Structure 1
């Protein structure tokens, strides 16, 4: 479990394709002081497992399904990635509850300055996620907890403040680039519970 508050930005130093997916090596000493093999870490909002590590680098494995559903399949050597270690019981939940289970990717279709902030507009590859996106609600993009500023039938927007821009890799992305999207899971639970009650009601009448 994560909060969507990025701890640091790492650099991809190598990618090795295997029969089981891709092993991604990342340089990021800031998140390795208390690391262990098998720890969970969010890479661009995708929950992955640390396979091995040194004092400055670590490796994670991305399965074929993960590569298809996320933007990790498009990574290249030298790319920057957002990183967050799994939360502890004592962690302040300054963002929102993030599972690291990416729902889809979205394309940046607009990026424009708004004072010192930047407004991004995204078009999701899978339109079904839009029903879980609400004005002023939470969303996790590339592992960043953000607030929705606009949503319509095909796109949604967020505003990134100046402070956040300096702490994450998303601020450097351009129109046409892809971001990982995880919607707030509460909406999914509510939908399933309500649907079950509706079905029970139909059976009674």
Structure 2
């Protein structure tokens, strides 16, 4: 579990195709700060995706993670190139201040940046989901969303156009990789887990009730 509060931006230093699958191994450096308590098998959120540390060198400041086919399908991590920077956050600890929101590190979809508009010293970003996604019901204005691993607040939601927006304040622009992206580029999106549980649970409950009603009506010969 993560909070969506980015600790560092690490640099992609190498991308190595896996010899046994269609995945890759990423090596990230300039990551000293998040390796002081690292162990092989730990989880680190990289651009919003929960990945497992397979190897690291605290002194040199690098670590490696594997990207499986499922991860490449769900995220924009397959588009990364050498020297690109990514948002990184260690898994939360029991004494962490909860500054963001509950982030699983499980990417739901990518979204495309369709506009970036300056607003004072802030930037307004507008994103569009691909047509096949059905995530709009989980988005609520002033609710949470995770974009490339960062916990951000939705400032508008338009169900009809599958678009949504956030405002990036100047402080966040200095910390997050989002401020370096351009119109047309993609971001990783994880919707609020509370919405998933509430709406998903409601849907399952409705189906359960429908099945029970149908069963009782059949037993009584009504249908």
Normalised TM-score (structure 2): 0.89
What is the Cα deviation at residue 68 of structure 1? 1.1
Residue 79 of structure 1 corresponds to 84
Alignment counterpart, residue 111 of structure 2, candidates 106, 123, 131: 106
Q: Which residue, 166, 170, 174 being the options, matches 1:166?
A: 174
Structure 2 runs not aligned, ≥5 long: 215-223
Q: Give the aligned partner of residue 147 of structure 2.
A: 141
**2:16 alignment partner in structure 1:** 16
Asked which structure has the greater CA Rg, the reply is 2
Query: How far apart, CA to CA, are the structure 1 residues paired with 2:86 and 2:39?
Result: 20
Q: How does 1:1-205 map to 2 (within 5 A)?
A: 1-18=1-18, 19-20=20-21, 21-27=23-29, 28-55=31-58, 56-125=61-130, 126-152=132-158, 153=160, 154-202=162-210, 203-204=212-213
Deviation at 1:87, TM superposition (A): 0.4
Number of aligned residues: 205
Cα offsets for 1:106-148 (capped at 9, x unmatched): 0100001100000100011243111111111100000000000
**Structure 1 alignment gaps of length 5 or more:** none
Q: Distance in 1 between matches of 2:113 and 2:88?
A: 20
1:185 Cα deviation (Å)? 1.2
CA distance in 1, matches of 2:126, 2:200: 28
Match of 2:221 in 1: none
- Find the residue that maps to 2:134 and give its secondary structure: helix
Name the CA distance, whole Å, in 1 between partners of 2:204 and 2:72. 33
Mapped partners of 1:77, 1:134: distance in 2: 36
Moved more, 111-120 or 123-132: 123-132
CA distance in 2, matches of 1:85, 1:189: 24
* Counterpart Cα distance in 2 of 1:173 and 1:70: 16
How far apart are residue 66 of structure 1 and its match?
Answer: 0.2
> Match of 1:194, SS?
helix
